[in-house]
Amino acid sequence: METKRVCVEEIEALLGKEIPVLNKGFVRIIDYMGDDAAIVQAARISYGKGTKTPSNDQSLINYLLRNEHTSVFEMCEIKLHIKAPIFVARQWLRHRTANVNEYSARYSEMDNDFYVPDLKHITGQDSNNKQARGKELDHDVVLQAYNTIDTMNKESFAAYTQLIENGIAREIARGVLTTNLYTQFYWKIDLNNLLRFLKLRTSSHAQFEIREYALKIENILKSWVPFTYRAYTNYNKLSLSQDGIKVIKSLINKKDISIEDTNMSKNEWNILMNQFEIE
């Protein structure tokens, strides 16, 4: 059927298809609105198809993103169906800039779908970062952890099933399930807030599991709004504090500078050094 709405060929081909993430999760595109041209139209406040050439459209989008003219990016929206472990969903839904509806464990019974991390992703606690993975562990310790997680998942679901069979209300029975259980939700968000989500959740500092989802969505972004994707990857990778600027200026001018010359924490200093690959 002929339509007058904006259609992006690459996204149309992905509509309704599950894009696998982790062991049993997925991202699925339900619907979308707008494209790069919609951003340009909003900026120009016109009804045409943007400027005369694609290069002009790219330049305008670069300018808009670089100078944080965010409202025009709100002209585009996307609705996704997500299947993710509960602990990932709890991180995800902290981004309170989207419309969300999640599967109800009060109304429906949960499926026996659990996440168990690959052995290579089971590591020790980071010695500096209180919320991150750290050093590698002995193989025996990792294998024992894997088996413990897998056993707890299975035992929790067995207990849940038994409670349901005994007539216990679903809203009570669900309390025994682990947060490795998969949940599902619909997530509708505008492009401006999606870019913010991706900047945070594709970072190397984000937890591995949610980063895997963010990277899949970043690929969707590349197909949906390629001009915006190019601007996003060019302008959204680095933020500098006043101290950070001071350090970089000193290095450019070949002047010695140390952490003691700034108000930076050790962690902030190390991140800056790593970002610029400074030894």
* Residues with Cβ within 8 Å of residue 143, at least 6 apart in sequence: 119
DSSP states of 97-137 = SSEEEE--TTTSPPPS-B----GGG---B-SS-TTSB-S--
DSSP states of 259-272 = GGGSS--HHHHHHH
Q: Give the model confidence (pLDDT) of 163-202 as tens digits.
A: 999 999 999 999 999 999 999 999 999 999 999 999 999 9
What integer best gives the mean pLDDT of the chain? 90
Judgement on whether residues 123 and 148 belong to the same structural domain of the protein: yes
Judgement on whether residues 102 and 129 belong to the same structural domain of the protein: no
CATH number for the domain spanning 197: value is: 3.30.1360.170
As a whole number of angstroms, the distance between CA 30 and CA 83 comes to 13
Q: Say what the pTM is.
A: 0.88
Judgement on whether residues 3 and 92 belong to the same structural domain of the protein: yes
Domain that holds residue 265: 242-275
Phi and psi, residue 184, nearest 5°: -135, 150
The residue among 184, 11, 212, 181 whose CA lies nearest residue 82 is 184
Domain end residue (candidates: 163, 179, 195): 179
* Residues with Cβ within 8 Å of residue 105, at least 6 apart in sequence: 170, 171, 174, 177, 183
Give the residue numbers marked as catalytic.
Answer: 201
Judgement on whether residues 6 and 75 belong to the same structural domain of the protein: yes
Helices and strands of the chain, counted as H and E runs: 11, 5
Q: Give the model confidence (pLDDT) of 75-99 as tens digits.
A: 999 999 999 999 999 999 999 899 9
Judgement on whether residues 191 and 224 belong to the same structural domain of the protein: yes
Total tally of structural domains belonging to the chain: 3
Judgement on whether residues 109 and 214 belong to the same structural domain of the protein: yes
